[in-house]
Amino acid sequence: EKLLIAFFGGFFLGGGIGLAMRGGCVIDGTEVLALYISRNSQLTVGNIILILNIIIFAFAAYFINIDTALYAILTYLSASSIIDYIVNGIEAYTGVTIISDKNEEIKNFIISNMKRGVTIYKGTGGYLEKKDIDIIYTVVTKLEMSKLQSEVRSIDPDAFIVQQQIADIKGGVVKRQAFH
C-alpha cells in the first residue's frame, strides 16, 4: 500500500506544484530555486526539485527513518515528471531537421501553413550521391509535430526527418512560455 501511496501521492503532488508554477505561485520555495537554476543549466525544473528533495530526504533518512525517506524519494520521482509535463509538456518544443529533394515545397508549407520560421543549411549528400542539397531546420511544439510529419510525408515520402527535444529556446520567432 505504501508504494501506491507514494506513486499516486507524487502524481497529485506534481500536479499541484506544476499548476501552481504555471500560475506564478510557489509551494515551499524550492520552486523559485529550481526556476533560477533551470534557466542557467540544462536541468529541468522537475529534476532540480527532485535533486533538492533527495538531499533533504538523505538527512531525513539519517535522523528519522530510511524507509520513510525512500518512500518520499519515490513520491518525488513521480512528482518531478508530472511537474515537467505540466510546466513544459504541451508547449515543449521539438527541433526538426528535414532533408528532402522537395525542400522548397516543405519550406513553403512550414512558413505559410504552420506560421513557423525555417533555417536552411547547405549540405552535401554523403551516402549515395554527392550532390548539394538544402537542409531545412525548424522548431515546432509537440502538438504540431504530427501535422508536420504527415504533411512532409505527403509531399515527399522519402524525406529524411530527424527530431530533437529542445530544452530551452532564446530569441527567434518562437513564443516563449511565461514563468512569473
Hey, where are the domains in the chain? 2-89, 93-166
CA distance linking residue 169 with residue 15, whole number of Å: 24
Q: Answer yes or no: are the C-beta atoms of 77 and 50 closer than 8 Å.
A: yes
Give pLDDT, residue 124. Answer: 84
93-166 adopts what CATH topology? Alpha-Beta Plaits (3.30.70)
What pLDDT is recorded for position 153?
A: 95
In 3D space, the residue among 61, 34, 64 whose CA is nearest the CA of residue 46 turns out to be 34
Per-residue model confidence (pLDDT) at position 77:
92
Which pLDDT does position 176 carry in this prediction? 46
Quick one: pLDDT at residue 180? 41
Q: What is the pLDDT of residue 174?
A: 60
Report residues of the chain scoring pLDDT below 50: 176-180
CB 114 within 8 A of CB 173: no
pTM here is 0.57
Determine the pLDDT at residue 154. Answer: 95
